[in-house]
Amino acid sequence: MSSVHNLYDYSYENGTITLKNRKCPRCGSVMAKHTVGGTRWSCGKCGYTEYMKS
């Protein structure tokens, strides 16, 4: 059972929708978001890291 409302954060201030949980494109695991030193997503399973421009 999955709900879209649980997967997305909707900001009423910015009018933007952001993913709470990002799936790793390599292994499909849920990635963790890190905001220290720039926003990036990293997979704890295979080590895949994706950097985001903010």
Q: Count CA atoms closer than 13 A to 47's CA, side-chain side.
A: 0
Q: How near is the Cβ of 9 to Zn ion at its closest, in Å?
A: 22
Instruction: Number of residues interacting with Zn ion: please give it, by CB under 5 A.
Output: 8
Smallest distance, Zn ion to C-beta of residue 49, A: 9
Output 28 or 38, the one with its CB closest to Zn ion: 28
What contacts 54, CB < 8 A, 6 or more positions away?
38, 39
- Which 1-54 residues touch Zn ion, going by CB under 5 A? 24, 26-27, 29, 43, 45-46, 48
